[in-house]
Amino acid sequence: RSVVRPTVCPSAVWNPNGTTIAGSASGNSGSSSSQLNNPFDIAVDSALSLYVADYSNYRIMKWINGSANSTVVGPQLGYGVGPDTQHLHSATALYLDSTESNLYIADTHNCRVLKWNMVSNSVTVAVGGSGCGSSLNTFYWSDGIYVDRFSNIYVSDCNNNRVLKFPPNSTSSTLSVIVAGTGTAGSALNQLSTPGGIYVDESDNDTLYVVDRLNNRVMKYRANDTNRTVVAGGNGPGSSFKQLYDPRDVYVDSFGTVYVSDTANHRIMKWVKNARNGTLIVGVTGVTGTTPSRLNNPYGIRLDKSGNLYVADYTNDRIQRFTIDNSSC
């Protein structure tokens, strides 16, 4: 996530034409230092350096702000299965902590979260690592992670239809607690169906937001409250402004505005607090392309400290930045 949470007024808009800041503007995949192959998620630091989960290249890339080329960071050896922390088997989510010294990586097909310490340049297993499963010390793939101020690690457990919370300094045998979902797929308010990205609003009593992918909605869970609320979508799959279609990621700003990557609609939407309908931010509903205004299956989204929007344009193999316009505020 962005280290500094932006304050974005609810009436702000974004330039509909994005700038390619990583990967190929023309949508060509590759494995060179200037290319990406299915970027899944992103993190942005306070200097606007960009970290990318380069899914199909099995690596994490870092672009210094303004650079045309990147370097491999964290695990160095590419594809790998098993306990070796220098390999990845499909990175799907990133979280940069508030110190900017630790990058957490969802190594999804190895069913673990890795922690790369930038100071010591060491990689360790933060949670998981004892295989895929459904017990409270394991999970089965993850498309979303979050690390709070106490170093609790939240994991979106996709195939088990739940979100887990692991305590600090967990080991492979440490038990988590279920904070969303029941472990059984469903569409009731207490259920999830293939959860994706997650966000914890630490300024609002650790309220948890979960992308409920196959239910085409975003759920809101207040800590120590049994009430669950749909805050975006929830009206079946579709392309109207009250619907989502296979959403992937969520971000929440300091005003409580919810941003969603509406993946199969090839657009980014926002829901201001208590709104029933969303607002299109960027992209063209139902239309793909490689021009600056088009997206093709957007996945991870972030806002930087100024409110500029970053999008992992998955099938276009690039990262797009859309500049905020506060003139209407």
pLDDT at 26 over 80: yes
pLDDT higher than threshold 60 for residue 229:
yes
In whole angstroms, give the CA distance from residue 26 to residue 3. 30
Q: What is the band of 1 on the pLDDT scale with cuts at 50, 70, 90?
A: low
Spatial separation of the C-alpha atoms in residues 63 and 49, rounded to whole Å:
6
Residue 49 falls within a domain, yes or no?
A: no
Is the Cα dihedral 273, 49, 94, 317 positive or negative? positive
State the Cα–Cα distance between residues 309 and 51, nearest whole angstrom.
14
Q: At residue 66, does pLDDT exceed 60?
A: yes
Domain-located, residue 231: yes
3-class secondary structure, 160: helix
Count of structural domains within the chain: 1
Q: How many residues does the chain have?
A: 329
Q: Encoding tokens for residue 265? A: 């609609």
CATH number for the domain spanning 157: value is: 2.120.10.30
> Does residue 102 belong to any structural domain of this protein?
no
Does 218 fall in a domain?
Answer: yes
Q: Please give the Cα distance from 36 to 7 (Å, whole number).
A: 30
Q: Is residue 1 part of a domain?
A: no
| 232 in any annotated domain | yes
Domain that holds residue 260: 13-23+119-325
Interval 198-225: pLDDT, tens: 999 999 999 999 999 999 999 999 988 7
Asked if residue 147 belongs to a domain, the reply is yes
Q: Return the closest-CA partner of residue 38 out of 283, 304, 300.
A: 300
Considering the domain boundaries, does residue 206 fall inside one? yes
